Structure 1
Amino acid sequence: MHFVVSGEGQAVVLIHGLFGDLDNLKSLSAELEKTHQVIRVDVPNHGLSEHWQQMDYPLLAEAIIQLLDTLNLSSAHLVGHSMGGKIAMATALLYPQRIDSIVAADIAPVAYPPRHQAVFAGLTSLDLANTNRNQALNHLTQAGIDTGTAQFLLKSLRRAETGFSWKMNLDGLIRCYDKLIGWSITAKPYTKPCYMIRGGDSDYVTAEHKDAIMAQFPQVQAKTINGTGHWLHAQKPEIFNRLVADFIRAQT
């Protein structure tokens, strides 16, 4: 897994969401690295990390543990947004002795219905050989993707010898999508500190998820950032970064 390390102190691993890369939580890293060693990762099939044909949460959790082993870290805090939050939760449940605490941003440990069909349709129908960035943006918005999400997706577009290519493994993500929106982890509850931060305008974490959350993470603390949606860390970064930093520092 491709990663970047900064700062010194107890380790914190930052894990981005679907279609993202290690730059997504860069502003949080800048806050945390004042007191901690921060490791930002490109999740497999994203950024500069390897492309996997099979991708599920047990495999991703194992990859996080292998990263800790590579860095000679006995344990770490995990912070993840969306899919990254699920990776953090899966790792904590499967390897509790290696994880000091977790923060899951706007995601619950449950299975979700498909909600990225328009995104996949827009990405796969883009003519990478005959486009430029403005045309690509127009194509995605015409495919029904809002401008903010389209601009975020285009961060994974890179120039190729002819035209463009995706840094992410789009075919692999499509193939494994049902595993990424699903949730099949069965393990003893994670009883160390857990913090769930949700966007007040998002429907990713709702009251109906409370029982599933409490059953798996009985020590959970919860916070809502009003006036934000699923991209809460980008919409109100100062508040989000402060909440995460305060929580992490309280555990050390």
Structure 2
Amino acid sequence: MQLHVIDSGKDDRGEGVSHDTPPLVILHGLFGSADNWRSHIKQWQRSRRVLALDLRNHGRSGHQAGMQYEALAEDVMETLTPLNLGRFDLLGHSMGGKVAMTVARQHGEQLSHLIVADISPVSYGHGHDEIFAAMRAVERAEPGSRKAADDIMQEAIEIAATRQFLATNLVRDDDGIMRWRVGLDEISDGYPSIIAPPGGEGAFTGKALLLRGETSPYVRPSHREAIEAMMPNVRLETIEGAGHWLHAEQPKAFRDAVNRFLEET
């Protein structure tokens, strides 16, 4: 399926603007969207074309059953291919990192660099039960304001930053009710695929960077063998003072690490 794209390389007439450096394509994580990356896009677009995609069932993209990584990677390539980007750099966070690894396995010849933010190419246990419970509670209550939605979510989610992140997915319908723009049913049904390893086979032999948050449990020493098998030319760096949402918690350090990698390699 065609995905919604925020594209810094388009002017007011919608015509592509070229840069000497490869374009940078960004893939968000679970319950995220391209909008979450606007501050980074603003910085990176000074030197290159930047494209941030809404994956299926997220943001402004359509809803469709199936959250297998092969399907999500196919969506990405179906969206990018008509744009004739040439070789591009690909950055993915969390679930988007697994999509990026799948794209790298299946279309590695089109990537200049692969950047994975705080995820390993392994299976994970169920870790979003509280989030699903909170979102379903909001869905049932049909609140009329963000404050009312936050009060409902607070019963299941104590951390305010998590509630605020989820609230970026709330939109007001014609009846004044706050509803989720994500495909909650499709994501819930596809959750076993989301916590599975990336799709495809073999390794991406190009230059790769894996950034982990210092306090995040998502990239562990026990994952090292799987990481190096998937990305034999990987550089592993830690962003101090950050957890899983490292790009939001330490935005400058995250961006600096990405820039160093792209400039040095």
TM over 0.5: yes
Identity of aligned residues (%): 35
Deviation at 1:124, TM superposition (A): 0.7
Partner residue, 1:135:
148
Deviation at 1:125, TM superposition (A): 1.5
Does residue 1:31 correspond to 2:43, yes or no?
A: yes
Match of 1:178 among 170, 192, 208: 192
Which consecutive unaligned segments of at least 5 residues does structure 1 have?
Answer: none
Alignment of 1:33-182 (within 5 A): 33-126=45-138, 127-162=140-175, 163-182=177-196
> What is the total number of aligned residue pairs between the two structures?
251
Asked if 1 retains the 8 angstrom alpha-carbon contact of 2:157 and 2:163, the reply is no
Q: Which amino acid aligns with 2:184?
A: L
Deviation at 1:67, TM superposition (A): 2.0
**CA–CA distance in structure 2, aligned partners of residues 143 and 24 of structure 1:** 23
Does residue 1:236 correspond to 2:250, yes or no?
A: yes
More displaced 10-residue stretch of structure 1: 116-125 or 59-68: 59-68
Does residue 1:227 correspond to 2:229, yes or no?
A: no
TM-score, normalised by the number of residues in structure 1: 0.95
**CA–CA distance in structure 1, aligned partners of residues 216 and 198 of structure 2:** 23
Does residue 1:187 correspond to 2:201, yes or no?
A: yes
Partner residue, 2:13:
none
1:154-211 CA distances to partner (integer Å, 9 max, x unpaired)?
0100001221211111111001011011115342211101000000000000101000
Which consecutive unaligned segments of at least 5 residues does structure 2 have?
Answer: 10-17
Deviation at 1:246, TM superposition (A): 2.2
Partner residue, 1:247:
261
TM-score, normalised by the number of residues in structure 2: 0.91
